[in-house]
Structure 1
Amino acid sequence: MNTLSVKIHEDVHYIGVNDRETHLFENMWPLDNGISYNSYLLTGEKNVLLDTVKITKVDSFLVKIQNILKDKPLDYLVIHHMEPDHSGSIKSVIDMYPDVKLVGNKKTQDFLEAFYGVTGNFIEVKEGDTLDLGDKKLTFYMTPMVHWPESMVSYESKHKILFSQDAFGGFGALDGPIFDDEINWDFYESETRRYYSNIVGKHSKQVQVAIKKLAGLDISMICPVHGPVWRSKPEKIVSLYDKWSKFDTDEGVVIVYGTMYGNTSIMAEAIARVLAEEGIKDVKMYDVSKTHNSHIINEIWKYKGLILGSCTYNNGLFPIMSNLVNVIKMNNIQNHILGVFGSYSWSGGAVKTLKEFGETCQYDFIENVVEVKCSPAIDDLEKCAEIAKEMAKRLKESR
């Protein structure tokens, strides 16, 4: 049983848990490296729990609270975000501490009743309200749609800590290290961007609003509900979220193709090779049937160039590619150069759909479109090379 708690300060405790059993976050996104559900406990004149954890981890979570508080009361439970991976243990906390006061905003209260039937002992807070804890104070800031409507953050002024709920979080269990100066950032950077692109990215405009709202705070530490605690360089994760929410991209190309019998993949390989010859060093290629959309979306968020290729299936887009395209549209991914190609046997449809997708997303669209009947001939591959050359040209012009 995971019962480890970590002192952040003498009166601030990390009491999060790791989940290495769940396969899919939100039953959609792979958790190849697990995930942490972070919770925090402030002790002193008043004892305050900041968020809970997924109900599957409630037993070890409650043990941590008891080990710290012993026979002392829990005065407040601050609920920054009501998604069940953070609110799932609320009723269990209330059962153990029936006098605890719940702190949240008006929309929090609505979700509390709808999810758990909880209606009493609630303190509503609004933008800029402060909860006086005697030796500490918590000030609340609303961050709606980062990434739920009730989402908010709190700032503890004594230690200058921002409790940021899902904002500034990431995928990946915390395998011993929990602080940013302890972790291997080469691993966590990709998992953090994947979390952003999969979960938060659709709401990038609201992320920008939140970053600007919090810019005036003197923040020495950021404590999110997923991923590492940022005690050494909190400005680093803020800078990354700022970059990602502005759709700032790196030079590189993601090629994603859907193929049944390998003909479309031949075209993809030809494009990739010419991109390398044109000096593009970061080229990522994915068979949409083998790589989960979560990982593909992560790379698309990072690189400016995107090339999609698909065989035609029943007069339309290859179904698995169609799913990826829908996820790209759902997440409102912006600021890309797009090229498309594809193949068909007796009737087209895939390339037409990809072109319409490019128009809908208002990408910088490469007009050199290649559609091949059955298998590509040498002149078809030469046309594919033109897509690569034009992509490289536009990438270099955008430097």
Structure 2
Amino acid sequence: MYQPVNLSDAIYYVGVNDRRTNLFENMWPLERGIAYNSYLINDEKTTLIDTVEIGHIDKFLKKIKSIIGDKPIDYLVINHMEPDHAGSIELLTKLYPNMQLVGNKKTGPMVAGFFGINDHFIEVAEGDTLNIGKHTLQFYMIPMVHWPETMITWEASNGIVFSGDAFGSFGTLDGGIFDDEIEFEYFVDEMRRYYSNIVGKYGSPVQKALEKLKALDIKIIAATHGPILRSHIADMIEMYDQWSRYEAGKGVVIAYASMYGYTEEMAEVIARELALQGIKAIRMYDVSKTHASHIISDIFKYKGVILGSPTYNNELHPNMESLVNKLEHMGVQNHYLATFGSFTWAGAAVKKLNAFAEKVKWETVGTPVEQKHALKEDKYEACRAVAVAMADKIKQ
């Protein structure tokens, strides 16, 4: 019934698409859906690599059975225990009671904790191998990319790395499964949004994982989300290297909160002056309208950040406070920051934005601008000065 999707003669994609879930991890919007990728190796020992979210188990099983029929699954390799990939483990162990679970010393306690499964578990360590017939699998640990038990599975004869969440992306696979079957550039923004919001906190572990991958002659990257890579491997690794080093490009993200338009007016002045100063990559966001995941994604892309907020009950506007809290939690590094804001009777927002800059150790640029009531001529010019200072930094 299902037309097989082959990575090689005996290795298959058996993933599914999810266009109904609105929020990933009940947090990040999925405007373009998401794919849960799983892979099947039809060898002497039938081996499944990762599973799918439990709500899609029916289609998943149909794809598996269309390849192996009533043949049992001998091994299930668990690269990552997050429920969007491990959610079907318990049901699969009931359908295939002799199936062995393969994971590392941190995987086993999670399998027991989530599903009460304490047997049929094979523990593997760094560099261990598992022979399944014509194919041999080798395992490498990549802890905190982005859970502590995360590992990758290497299949050398075809040069395939099953990478777990590493190199993943938001977005469903709409016909094209491989990167050379799709408009790759269409996925890049969702790849960066996925990395920055899901993996972005763990730049150092990502760097260590990339070092391990250098020793492998990779022909295919098969992640658990997004397209399978076989033509843009170098591009993807370069992007991961850049993102995990927090190296951003020559552009500016302006994110602001505004209740009645006064802070927004200041943002407009700053944006216009940035353009006059020759900055073409300007991304402007109202934090009350645009989800933080999109703003954070562009902050990973561009080095300049300008944040503005009115004072709200002697604090930041709640939506701006949410954004800076996320950025602080993620530990985003190596950015320039300028700040502005407005107030009616007592100003506090700019002070709190500057305190955020100190916490994350971003370099502050220009003189912060805080306007009481509506925008006046002196503050108008001060906003322009902020833009000039930021443009000078960006163009260096």
Which interval holds the TM-score relative to the shorter structure?
A: over 0.9
Partner of 1:373: 372
* Structure 2 counterpart of 1:133, one-letter code: I
TM-score (normalizing by structure 1):
0.98
Within 2, Cα distance between the matches of 1:314 and 1:75?
A: 60
Q: How many residue pairs were aligned?
A: 396
**Native 8 Å contact 1:338 1:358 kept in 2:** yes
Within 1, Cα distance between the matches of 2:2 and 2:304?
A: 45
Partner of 1:340: 339
Q: What secondary structure, in the 3-state scheme, does the structure 2 residue paired with 1:22 have?
A: coil
Partner of 2:214: 215
Which consecutive residues of structure 2, in runs of 5 or more, have no partner in the other structure?
none
Partner of 2:115: 116
**Native 8 Å contact 1:4 1:15 kept in 2:** no
Quote the offset at 1:193 in angstroms.
0.3
Quote the offset at 1:3 in angstroms.
5.4
| Pair 1:311-2:297 in alignment | no
Quote the offset at 1:233 in angstroms.
2.9
Q: What secondary structure, in the 3-state scheme, does the structure 2 residue paired with 1:195 have?
A: helix
Deviations 1:205-235 (A, max 9, x none): 1000000012111111100000000122322
**Residue pairs, 1:19-34, within 5 angstroms:** 19-34=18-33
* Structure 2 counterpart of 1:197, one-letter code: S
| Pair 1:166-2:165 in alignment | yes
Within 2, Cα distance between the matches of 1:185 and 1:341?
A: 37
Q: What secondary structure, in the 3-state scheme, does the structure 2 residue paired with 1:353 have?
A: helix
Within 2, Cα distance between the matches of 1:366 and 1:291?
A: 25
* Structure 1 counterpart of 2:117, one-letter code: V
**Native 8 Å contact 2:366 2:389 kept in 1:** no
TM-score (normalizing by structure 2):
0.99
Deviations 1:297-324 (A, max 9, x none): 0111100000000000001111110000
1:28–1:36 Cα change, 3 Å: same
Q: What secondary structure, in the 3-state scheme, does the structure 1 residue paired with 2:62 have?
A: helix
Within 2, Cα distance between the matches of 1:5 and 1:59?
A: 17
Q: What secondary structure, in the 3-state scheme, does the structure 2 residue paired with 1:181 have?
A: helix
* Structure 2 counterpart of 1:373, one-letter code: K
Within 2, Cα distance between the matches of 1:387 and 1:225?
A: 43
Deviations 1:135-169 (A, max 9, x none): 11000000000000000001001111000000011
Partner of 2:261: 262
* Structure 2 counterpart of 1:228, one-letter code: P
Within 2, Cα distance between the matches of 1:88 and 1:47?
A: 20
| Pair 1:321-2:311 in alignment | no
Q: Once structures 1 and 2 are overlaid, which stretch shifts more, 121-130 or 68-77?
A: 68-77
* Structure 2 counterpart of 1:158, one-letter code: S
**Native 8 Å contact 1:3 1:61 kept in 2:** no
Partner of 1:107: 106
Which consecutive residues of structure 1, in runs of 5 or more, have no partner in the other structure?
none
CA RMSD after TM alignment: 1.0
Aligned-residue identity in percent: 53
| Pair 1:193-2:192 in alignment | yes
Within 1, Cα distance between the matches of 2:330 and 2:3?
A: 36
Partner of 1:176: 175
Within 2, Cα distance between the matches of 1:95 and 1:3?
A: 24
Within 2, Cα distance between the matches of 1:155 and 1:262?
A: 54
Partner of 1:147: 146
Q: What secondary structure, in the 3-state scheme, does the structure 2 residue paired with 1:140 have?
A: strand
* Structure 2 counterpart of 1:123, one-letter code: I
* Structure 2 counterpart of 1:213, one-letter code: K
Quote the offset at 1:338 in angstroms.
0.3
**Native 8 Å contact 1:5 1:16 kept in 2:** no
Deviations 1:243-276 (A, max 9, x none): 1111111100000001110000000000000000
Partner of 1:383: 382
* Structure 1 counterpart of 2:202, one-letter code: H
1:78–1:25 Cα change, 3 Å: same
